[in-house]
Amino acid sequence: MTGFDLIAPHLPVLTVVIPLIAGFLTPIIGWIDRRLPWYWVMLAMFVVLLIAGNNLVTVINSGTIHYKLGGWDPPFGIEYVIDLLNGFVCLIIAFIAFMVSIYSKESVKKEVPGKTTPFYSVFLLLITGLMGMTITGDIFNFYVFLEISSLTAYALIAMGDRGDGVVASFNYLIMGTVAASFILLGIGYLYAVTGTLNMADMQNLLPGVYDSKVVLAALAFFMAGFSIKVGLFPLHAWLPDAYTHAPSTASALIAGLMTKVGVYAMIRFMFCVFTPAFVIDVNMTEILTWAAALAIIMGSVFAIAQSDIKRMLAYSSISQIGYILLGFGLVNVVGITGGLLHIMNHAFMKCALFLVAGAIFYKTDIRNIYQFKGLGKKMPVTTTVFLIAALSMIGVPGTVGFTSKWYLALGSIEANQWIFVAVILVSSLLNIVYFWRIFDNIWFGHPHEIENIKRDEAPLTMLIPMVILGILCVYFGFFSGDLIEHIFEPLAKTLLGLGGVP
Amino acid sequence: MMVTEINSITPLLAVLVSMIASVLILASGKYPNIREGWTFVAAFIKFGLVISMLPLILNGKVITYTVVEMLPNLPIAFKVDAFGILFAITSSFLWIFVTSYSIGYMRSLKEHAQTRYFFCFAIALSSAVGIAFSANLITLFLFYELLTISTYPLVAHNETPEAISSGRKYLTYLMIAGVSLLFSILVVYHYTGTTEFSFAGIAGMETIPQTTLIILFITFMIGCAKAAFMPLHAWLPAAMVAPTPVSALLHAVAVVKAGVFTALRVILYVFGVDLMQYSGIWLYMAYFVSITIILASIYALMQDNLKKRLAYSTVSQLSYIVLGAVLITPHGITGGMLHIPYHAFMKITLFMCAGALIVTAKKEKISEMNGIARQMPITMLAFTVGALGMIGMPPVGGYVTKWFLLLGAAELHSMILIAVLLVSAVLNAAYFFPVIYVAFFKKPDHELKYKEAPLTMLVPLVLTAIISIVIGIWPDAPGMFLDIVEIAVANVTGGV
């Protein structure tokens, strides 16, 4: 028996355990040498990435993985369940976290001087929380990880801009705590009526008590709680400040992942704790689509009004989260496929954009988009990545943004909701408005203004992850066909209970 | 009618050549001669690749190539048919001339950001040929958007507030068009499950309810705003702030023709001749574009800026092409399709002359051009050739297409449309003759010495003028445009 065979059965849980242990070891590593934590985090993230990839492959080949924590049988013990949905979300978390960890070296050194070790420690704990939320099959365990990820996120944000970061963090803390309380109440209600905390078990037991008002209240609590966590308009107020004032690395991580995991949780609860039929029946999906449509438009409109690039990207995130939720709210295969696609696509695009914003800030200390003149000459690679990711956000064909937009619009047509088609299309026009003025500033400056600008690119550790994400934005714009056919469409069917792979 | 399909990578290569060139251009930005060398090499290779496919097409075959299955059931694919190659030949052939012209123009004026200029130009050409060879709406849309994006830096090239605001206008119109086109494609896909062009129109289009069908047609035509139908034309005169070679190749040929090309693809290959006739849309569309034909000519009369006058003339002429297609008769469609290359050769000549005037005489306004022919006789002669062609005087090419259009209108016994064509010819004369008169017969304000534009500019514009005459004298030469158009027309009308 080789070492790998020993570890193999425990791979599912290692995605949570590795960042947890690594996080607690970081202070020691940092104490040995202050330069080491970066390598340590990168190593940990790389291992997690490999494991997450391996888990997904296992799921595709041999179906859902059930891992019993401590050998206790569910529904009494805590069970980790990896199916296609969270296997895929886990891989995205691991991938984005790995990219951000490579990037973080110089950026963290500059933006949180003297606190790199605690930063990395918290970074790893955040990943622990997000991974845990994603793979757990136990509703209370979910809450525990939710709190871990929230607390670490508050800490990361508070390390940002002096003063503002703390205020933003405090705001988020209040809102996040309200959200968490809602979710906890919901969990309590469901536990009261079903007597179980295991998600699968709960889904079996719930239909019997669907006419109970308690169940309905629980659903409402969940939706309200998660809506705050994902920053669904008009519950978004914490989000722009938090994204703007966090250190660039943390912004990229939180924007790319936190809300995605929130969305994942929302979907998991809607479709796998409750049943799609029930959620549709109580009009929750319809409410969700309209809220999402509002978010799409308002997020874009607010983004146009911003001059701080990170703030603009934050508002753009609010709008993009709307896309994802719209797809799921449509509850048809095409729409959900679009929503799932957009989870991945938005992670790539938005992470790339925040990384670019961080790189520009690193080199020039500028965040105001009207001061970007001549950047095209100064940082050609960074700005090219920005161009690609921004075009992707707009939804130009040949980029990932187009593929998900196509599915979402098609799903809206299929649901006979023409108004949402209009919303999606109008929002791409709004995206053009707020991104194009940046293009103009970056590339069009009068010759005499930009004559003396020399090339001064961001360091390689920053460039590599940005370029990789930029390439992926284009790659998956052309080569999503197989992915959709083999993963997203079957997954969408499963979520709706229409069969397909387990 | 069965058409033999041949699988070949040539169309992809033809599209990619200028993409690759664009990278090389960027890489050799510091060495202008090498940079322009790449453009030339790419232009010749591109034209060579396009023309190498012509014999097969003339034999009635179709060349296909699927690049990648972008989304399930939505491939990025190329299909070269007679209509596609017509547009591809026109734009890739003229690129050779404009490259030479660009070098002369940009260097004479010592323009800034020349690397960006040639880079974007190469990408725009790739997009134009990509549009020509698209096998389905989604591929077409990909290149359509790429064309918009790559031409924006060319329009805003001067970077003056005026140029930027014109660029914004350009972008606003064309992006709204893009969104409208995307919407239309979504609807087509929703109803038919495909976006692939078919000679008889996409199967399943007839299942769309009449009201939806009409709305769909309208959104498609808004999507074709690159064809500058009124009232969606305002971006084209605004785009005239671009350097003249851009106006010449892109805003008289590649971009606007991409618009009409898309419109024709939609009318003939998505809706199909039968459905157009059956739904009665053709008649409304014919009247609609007639308005543009007349109104744009009147607008042209009022312009003093030569490039703007030419731009409005383009607006009017583009609608000829669409008018031909919606007449639905073989003669009408022939006239419309044939006008794509014919108008291209004549209008590019006119624009290159306007550019030569800017470079050599520093004159943009017609009112300042008194007696300019004494200074630049060759340029003004070429201009006269182009202008006569636009008016429709033999032996310059323009009369051929007008003849077919008139035949088409006559076959429908539509006095209104015949009147539109004739009135428009009179208006064309009314806005072109004054220019010729001013240039040749008015006394110059002060003594003018003979001084022509540099040879890199003069040679291309003389050549395109000569070609404009050749295609007028001998339109039915074997393998020439009329041959190609006849095959395309036979495809869509099912034989004859």
pLDDT digits (tens, 9 = 90+) for B180-218: 999 999 999 999 988 889 888 888 888 888 888 999 999
Angle at the Cα of B66 from the Cα atoms of B62 and B70, rounded to 5 degrees:
145
* Chain-centroid distance, C-alpha A197: 25
Sheet holding B5-7, edge to edge: B5-7, B62-71, B74-80
- Amino acid at site B421: L
A397, A406, A444: residue with CB nearest B164: A444
Is the pLDDT at A501 greater than 50? The verdict is no
Cβ–Cβ of A429/B70 closer than 8 Å? no
Give the separation between CA B151 and CA B155, rounded to whole angstroms.
6
- B76 interfaces chain A, CB cutoff of 8 Å: yes
B145, B153, B159: residue with CB nearest A397: B145
- A478 interfaces chain B, CB cutoff of 8 Å: yes
Which residues of chain B lie closer than 8 angstroms to A426, CB-CB?
A: 179
Which residues of chain B lie closer than 8 angstroms to A447, CB-CB?
A: 112-113, 159
- Is residue B43 within 8 A of residue B95, CB to CB? The reply is yes
Q: Residue B77 — φ and ψ, nearest 5°?
A: -140, 155
Give the separation between CA B485 and CA B489, rounded to whole angstroms.
6
Q: Give the distance from residue B403's alpha carbon to the nearest chain A alpha carbon, in angstroms.
A: 40
- Is pTM, for the whole model, over 0.90? yes
Q: Which residues form the domain of B229? A: 5-493
Most confidently modeled range among A104-108, B244-248, B263-267, B453-457 = B263-267
Q: Give the distance from residue B301's alpha carbon to the nearest chain A alpha carbon, in angstroms.
A: 34
Pairing of strands B74-80, B62-71: antiparallel
pLDDT band at A502 (very low <50, low <70, confident <90, very high): very low
Predicted confidence (pLDDT) per residue in B315-363, tens digit: 999 999 999 989 888 899 999 999 999 999 999 999 999 988 888 888 8
Give the separation between CA B286 and CA B416, rounded to whole angstroms.
10
pLDDT band at A455 (very low <50, low <70, confident <90, very high): confident
Radius of gyration of chain A (CA): 22
Is the pLDDT at B3 greater than 80? The verdict is no
CB within 8 Å of chain A, chain B residues 177-196: 179, 182-183, 186-187, 189-190
- Work out the angle between the directed axes of helices A139-158 and A116-135 (0-180°, nearest 10): 160
Give the separation between CA B279 and CA B285, rounded to whole angstroms.
12
* A358-365 mean pLDDT: 87
Angle at the Cα of A403 from the Cα atoms of A401 and A406, rounded to 5 degrees:
105
Is the pLDDT at B101 greater than 60? The verdict is yes
Averaged pLDDT score across all residues of chain A: 87
A425, A481, A484: residue with CB nearest B179: A425
- A423 interfaces chain B, CB cutoff of 8 Å: no
Q: Give the distance from residue B320's alpha carbon to the nearest chain A alpha carbon, in angstroms.
A: 30
Is the pLDDT at B1 greater than 80? The verdict is no
Q: Which tokens in the block code for residue B391? A: 């008016």
The residue ranges of every structural domain in chain A are 283-502
Q: Residue A32 — φ and ψ, nearest 5°?
A: -65, -50
Mutate which: A381, A406, A474, A489, vs B, most B CBs within 10 A = A406
Predicted confidence (pLDDT) per residue in B4-54, tens digit: 888 888 889 999 998 899 888 888 878 888 888 888 889 999 999 999 998
Q: Give the distance from residue A131's alpha carbon to the nearest chain B alpha carbon, in angstroms.
A: 29
Residue B496 is predicted with a pLDDT of 45
Give the separation between CA A402 and CA A480, rounded to whole angstroms.
11
Q: What is the ipTM of this complex?
A: 0.89
Q: Residue A234 — φ and ψ, nearest 5°?
A: -95, 25
Cβ–Cβ of B145/A396 closer than 8 Å? yes
* B244-268 mean pLDDT: 88
Predicted confidence (pLDDT) per residue in A287-306, tens digit: 999 999 999 999 999 999 98
Which residues of chain B lie closer than 8 angstroms to A446, CB-CB?
A: 159
Pairing of strands A79-82, B62-71: unpaired
- Work out the angle between the directed axes of helices B137-155 and B161-192 (0-180°, nearest 10): 180
Cβ–Cβ of A396/B183 closer than 8 Å? no
Give the separation between CA A381 and CA A464, rounded to whole angstroms.
10
Which residues of chain A lie closer than 8 angstroms to B153, CB-CB?
A: 443-444
Q: Using CA atoms of B92, B82, B220, B189 in order, give the dihedral in degrees to the nearest 10.
A: -110
Which residues of chain A lie closer than 8 angstroms to B138, CB-CB?
A: 397
Q: Give the distance from residue A73's alpha carbon to the nearest chain B alpha carbon, in angstroms.
A: 41
Give the separation between CA A469 and CA A363, rounded to whole angstroms.
20
Cβ–Cβ of B113/A428 closer than 8 Å? no
Among chain B residues, CA nearest to A404: B71
CB within 8 Å of chain B, chain A residues 388-407: 391, 396-398, 403, 406-407
A398, A413, A446: residue with CB nearest B187: A413
Secondary structure class of B68 (helix, strand, coil): strand
CB within 8 Å of chain A, chain B residues 308-327: none
Structurally, chain B folds into a number of domains equal to 1
Angle at the Cα of A155 from the Cα atoms of A150 and A158, rounded to 5 degrees:
125
Give the separation between CA B60 and CA B1, rounded to whole angstroms.
11
pLDDT band at B106 (very low <50, low <70, confident <90, very high): confident
Whose structure tokens read 């991409």?
B258
- B161 interfaces chain A, CB cutoff of 8 Å: no
* B447-473 mean pLDDT: 87
Q: Give the distance from residue B196's alpha carbon to the nearest chain A alpha carbon, in angstroms.
A: 16
Which residues make Cβ contacts (< 8 Å) with residue A154, sequence separation at least 6?
A169, A172, A173, A176
Cβ–Cβ of B189/A489 closer than 8 Å? no
Which residues of chain B lie closer than 8 angstroms to A421, CB-CB?
A: 183, 186
Taking residue A281's Cβ as centre, other Cβ atoms within 10 Å add up to 12
Which residues of chain A lie closer than 8 angstroms to B68, CB-CB?
A: 478-479, 481
B315 vs A499 pLDDT, higher one: B315
DSSP B77: E
- Amino acid at site A162: R
- A341 interfaces chain B, CB cutoff of 8 Å: no
- Amino acid at site B216: L
Which residues make Cβ contacts (< 8 Å) with residue B105, sequence separation at least 6?
B111, B243, B244, B245, B355, B359, B457
Give the separation between CA B154 and CA B116, rounded to whole angstroms.
8
Residue A98 is predicted with a pLDDT of 92
Q: Which of A185, A192, A188 is nearest to A209 (CA)?
A: A192
Which residues of chain B lie closer than 8 angstroms to A436, CB-CB?
A: 168, 171
Is the pLDDT at A1 greater than 80? The verdict is no
Q: Give the distance from residue A397's alpha carbon to the nearest chain B alpha carbon, in angstroms.
A: 5
